[in-house]
Amino acid sequence: MVVTNLARNKIALFLGGSTTDYPGYFVIGSGSGASSATDTSLVYAVDGQAFTSANGSTSQKITWQGDWSNNEMSGIQLREFGIKVEAGTTGSVWSKASFPALTFDGTNELRIEETIEIY
């Protein structure tokens, strides 16, 4: 998982009181390619939805969780995911992960958990 330059800039603005933008959504995609800090979006986003939960109970860490049903995932070849501020599949990502394709055939659900720790 790569934290993008956008996220670094937004965190700095947030600490300075200059923005209230913070992630609230996962986005998943089927595009292939390596993740980079300069990425601003997924290669090919196919679905996005609000976090199922957010847990900040551990000092200096936040963990977000997203869940998709077997019907929502049916037919998707998952190759990437990210987190972002806006609902839907468009908009800039705060983080991005890319990996070899995982094929969903209608019998599998998906749960993504992403943790960011501030040092």
1 has a pLDDT exceeding 90: no
pLDDT tens sequence across 26-85: 999 999 999 999 999 999 999 999 999 999 999 989 999 999 999 999 999 999 999 999
Distance CA 35, CA 77 (A): 17
Q: What is the DSSP string of the chain?
A: -EE-HHHHHHHHHHHTTS------EEEEE---S---TT--S-SSEEEEEE-SEEE--STTEEEEEEEE-HHHHTT-EEEEEEEESSSSS-S-EEEEEEEEEEE--SS--EEEEEEEE--
Q: Tell me what the pLDDT averaged over the chain comes to.
A: 92
111 has a pLDDT exceeding 80: yes
Distance CA 114, CA 107 (A): 23
Looking at residue 44, its pLDDT comes to 96
